[in-house]
Amino acid sequence: MNLALFGPPGSGKGTQANFLVQHFGIPQVSTGDLFRAEIKAQTDVGRRAQTYMDRGDLVPDLITLQLVRRRLDAPDTERGVLFDGFPRTVAQAAELDKMLQAMGRRMDRVIFVQVPTDVLVDRLAGRLTCPKCGRTYHPKLAPPQLDTVCDHDGTALIMREDDRPETARKRITVYLEQTLPVLAHYRQQHVVSDIAGTGSIEEVRGRILRAIGVPSAAPAGMSTGWTQGGIPPSEQGGAGDTETAGQRPPAGIPPSDHSRSPGAGHRGRVRGR
């Protein structure tokens, strides 16, 4: 099962990714984290990536794809991965399709977390990150339990260079211009679920689980996760968050999802603010 979390910077992808990898027992492949690891290790790739990242620009596709290819070679990705922050350009998406196909896999679902642009800048500016585990916090919107240390591992939180207001705005512009078109690529494959990224972390999590076809009451840590007909009636058909899976039932998605009529989903709509 290969999933991708898709959305603008500040949409809460990272927060949701942490939960989803635990829930499904698949590793997270975050290109942002891969770059940050290279920077920390002071590699050539890291040095090159940093100049782009500090400006809020995208790292060139060639470098990005090289890291992803290497990551997908690791045995822990065999049961699938959760992509976070990748693919970010149409060229990356096309190349990922080829990579997955060569491995006999495919993208099963792309979860599009939608957040209005004005909310994004507020969320990004002042965001604090744990340099050890990558969890993010916000002094007002999602404060850590103890002042400025990570709830998970007690590490002192930092403000990422690219979370400073000017760079944050640049990242949003880059997202709108270069990354948003990736969605059309996956809509053609009928694997996109549109999720409102507003509301509480738990609300967004519930929407994501329902879109994938997992009842939110499912116990955490259920590695296979899929329950037949697990989508509540209110989420099925016309009112659902999920675009139809079309003629190509993705592996691991319950039948109730693929059987939806074409057009049952909706585009660009934000629910539950």
Which residues belong to the active site? Answer: 13, 88, 127, 160, 171
Indicate the residue among 18 and 92 with the shorter CB distance to ligand ADP. 92
Q: With binding defined as CB under 6 A, does residue 12 bind ligand ADP?
A: no
What part of residues 17-36 is at the interface with ligand ADP (CB under 6 A)?
31-32, 35
Does 121 engage in binding with ligand ADP (CB under 6 A)?
no
Least Å distance, CB 58 to ligand ADP, is 4
Mask for 77-106, x = binds ligand ADP (CB under 6 A): --------xx-x---x--------------
Q: Which residue is nearest to ligand ADP (CB)?
A: 32
Smallest distance, ligand ADP to C-beta of residue 56, A: 6
What is the C-alpha separation between 178 and 108, in angstroms, rounded? 22
> Binding of ligand ADP at residue 197 (CB under 6 A)?
no
Specify burial of residue 203 (Cβ count, 10 A radius: 0-12, 13-18, 19+). Answer: middle
Segment interacting with ligand ADP (CB under 6 A) among 54-62, 113-121, 206-214, 219-227: 54-62
> What distance in Å separates the CA atoms of residue 29 and residue 51, rounded to the nearest whole number?
21
Residues forming contacts to ligand ADP in the complex (CB under 6 A) are 9, 13, 31-32, 35, 52-53, 56-59, 64, 85-86, 88, 92, 162, 171
